[in-house]
Structure 1
Amino acid sequence: MKVTLERAALLKSLGHVHRVVERRNTIPILSNEAAASTTLPAHTLYDIVRKLPDGAQVSLEAMGDGGQLQLRSGRSRFTLQTLPDGDFPDLATGEFSHEFMLAPADLKKLIDKTQFAISNEETRYYLNGIFLHSMEEGGETVLRAVATDGHRLARVEIACPKGAAGVPGVIVPRKAVTETQKLVEGLSEDVKVELSTTKIRLTFGDVVLTSKLIDGTFPDYMRVIPAGNDKRLIVDRAPFAAAVDRVSTISSDRGRAVKLAIADGRMTLSVTNPESGSAQEELDVDYDSAPLDIGFNARYLLDIMEQLDSDTALFKLADPGSPTLAQDREGASALYVLMPMRV
């Protein structure tokens, strides 16, 4: 086997594939990428090509039966260990029960507005991804994405694309979500999505991403979305986010709780830290319910504010110990639930 190609073309392809390879892997073949009739260490190959000069020609040539491949470029020579391509897993095999097309903007929306809430807790592995499914809502079929870490929940939906009705509930792992987020950036053509109960395959032009799904049961998220929160609070989103950011400067690393004291069209944000002092700021808000003091993790509040598109944010509250709902406006396609903190 011998192949010669231009550095930029090789680097572009390696840039897509090397990110899905774990640097630490107990199964050596999974640290390699398939190339012609052999496999190569993905990160090593990427780093070599990345460091070659622009416009360089790269030659790859197998060296007999010794399990090695030589990479040549100009006066540079590298000898890399290979592994048999027959050991490389083939995720592309098998049937996909559902196939549909998604506009890049819709796919980006489903991911961007939910991925921040994916859990990092490995013991609850079923929360380590985005739950994707179709369902009936208000007489219409929607495609819905949900993520939660137990402290906050993000849910967004779009009109169900043709072919996506009846899609089974699947959990797309964080790694696949992250790569999809990068691949869809700047894309103009629709993305082909294929799903089964165990795998997802996305086609972005000439790039195909195939991933196993998380084998687990996503919790019944509908049970944690409050339906009876009757205290409506409307804030100007940017000033509110800036105020949260300012007062949280005084927070300790152990808990970034900010207290919101809401009454008579006024909100007082405050943080008290015995080790460093206190902070307080007032904002005018739209609120005419009974006075309420409630605390939230400042970072979580800011994450949600970053996802909202309008100039205002609508909060629906109940009491200091119950989950709060946040949206752009009533009936918005994106919805967020935030658990309060004691303050």
Structure 2
Amino acid sequence: MKLSIERASLLKAVAQAQSVVERRNTIPILANVLIEASGAEATFRATDLDIEVVDKATAVVERAGSTTVSAVTLNEIVRKLPDGALVTLTEDSASGRLTIEAGRSNFSLATLPKEDFPVMASSDYATNFSCPAPVLRRLFDKSKFAISTEETRYYLNGVYMHVSESDGGKVLRCVATDGHRLARIDAALPEGADGMAGVIVPRKTVGELRKLLDDDEMMIAVSVSETKVRFATPDITLTSKVIDGTFPDYTRVIPQNNTRKMEVDAAEFARAVDRVATVSSERSRAVKLQLDEDRLILSVNAPDSGAAEEELSVAYGDERLEIGFNAKYLLEIASQVDRENAVFMFNSSGDPTLMREGNDTSAIYVVMPMRV
């Protein structure tokens, strides 16, 4: 195999591949990227047996062929080469090495047989549809902060993507929760997505998918089966197993009868929470909210380190309320607001609180209170 490729194209493909590779694994071939060259392109394939990413790049192929080489090492080499360099990759099957040349730089890396490289079994996808990148980006970006990291409740370690009923008809919905907070984000249902089975997209896959969604003009081809989900652009295909479990009935924890309404400038609120939480040394950082007519007092009282208080002007016309929250959860939810105002709906100091952006109900968040 021998091919020449621009550094920028090679770096983009190899960076995507190496991020999928598990640093610690007992199977050496899983640390490698499979490079296949034919026609006028090279493909770079990496897998950790749960996720597989395939990236295509235009190349000048002098001799078709394929080999596998350490993804992390190749990425480091290409990253350190000068911008605009033309990189030549040559595989010598006799010595079992891959030579990388760019200008005066020359590297030689050990390879492993391509026959040992595991290729993810293809799946029959029951549902296929296309979705604009900005729509998918919003669905996953606004929900992923609430993914649980608790391995025992593995079915919460991802984003639940499914079709649901809303006031305006059917929607494509993403939900994530860790039991303390919940995010539910809706988008218009793409054509062809109607019969989709609900799938839990794993946390790592959500992180890898984000790299495909930066181009606002891009359409993403989405394919879903009961065991796998695939996201594809013209150059990159990301295939992932889905979490084998049942996502809980999240609708039961979304409060329906919260009537006390507070409207506040989202950015100002987030900054104020961040400031008062500074004095607390505890990880949970409980922040108390005292609500009175058109006035909010945020306070933290940490006996070991000190106390803090800040007052904000808000729109609130209900009876007085005191309620406590984990500062980290409040900050994460407030940072999701794209509009100017965040609307909080309270019931009592012991009940879940609902938050949305203005009157928009396509993105709603629920956070559990704390005793303070």
User: TM-score normalised to the size of structure 2?
Assistant: 0.87
Per the alignment, residue 58 of structure 1 pairs with 87
Q: Gaps spanning 5+ residues in structure 2: where?
A: 37-65
Measured against aligned partners, the alpha-carbon deviations of 1:306-332 in whole angstroms (never above 9, x if no partner) come to 111222111111111211100013452
Flag the structure with higher strand content: 2
1:269 corresponding residue in structure 2? 298
Q: Percent identity?
A: 53
Does residue 300 (structure 1) correspond to residue 308 (structure 2)? The answer is no
Tell me which moved more, 64-73 or 284-293.
Answer: 64-73
* SS of corresponding position for 2:153: helix
Q: Is 2:132–2:216's contact at 8 Å kept on the other side of the alignment?
A: no
User: Does the CA-based 8 Å contact 1:129-1:147 persist in structure 2?
Assistant: yes
**Could you give the per-residue CA deviations for residues 115-165 of structure 1, whole angstroms, max 9, x where no partner exists?**
111122222222121110002223611100011111110010011110111
Deviation at 1:57, TM superposition (A): 3.0
Instruction: Check the 8 A contact 1:143/1:158 in 2, yes or no.
Output: yes
CA contact (8 A) 1:232 1:315 kept: yes
After TM superposition, give the deviation of residue 178 of structure 1 in Å: 1.2
Partner residue in 2 for 1:72 = 101
> Which piece of structure 1 moves more, 128-137 or 68-77?
68-77
Question: 1:39-95: CA deviations, max 9, x gaps?
Answer: 111111111111122333322222234543232333433232222222322236121
1:1-343 aligned at under 5 Å gives the runs 1-36=1-36, 37-91=66-120, 93-138=122-167, 140-343=169-372
Contact 2:284 2:328 (8 Å CA) reproduced: no
Structure 1 residue 5 displacement after superposition: 2.4
Helix, strand or coil: the match of 1:188?
coil
Tell me if the contact between 1:184 and 1:204 (Cα under 8 Å) persists in the aligned partners: no
Asked if structure 2 preserves the Cα contact closer than 8 Å seen for 1:8 and 1:54, the reply is yes
Checking the alignment, whether the CA contact within 8 Å between 1:257 and 1:295 is kept in structure 2 is yes
Q: Hey, what's the Cα distance between the residues in 1 that align with 2:362 and 2:184?
A: 8
CA contact (8 A) 1:189 1:205 kept: no
Residue range with higher mean Cα deviation, 29-38 or 282-291: 282-291
CA distance in 1, matches of 2:165, 2:283: 42
Alpha-carbon deviation of 1:247?
0.9
Alignment length (residue pairs): 343
- AA paired with 1:23? R
- Taking the aligned partners of 2:168 and 2:10, their CA distance within structure 1 comes to 49
Deviation of 1:16 after TM superposition, in Å, equals: 2.1
Aligned counterparts of 2:206 and 2:254: Cα–Cα separation in 1: 24
Per-residue displacement from partner, 1:176-222 (whole Å, max 9, x unpaired)? Answer: 21122122113412111111111111112312111111122211111
Confirm or deny: 8 A CA contact 2:200 2:247 kept in the other structure: yes
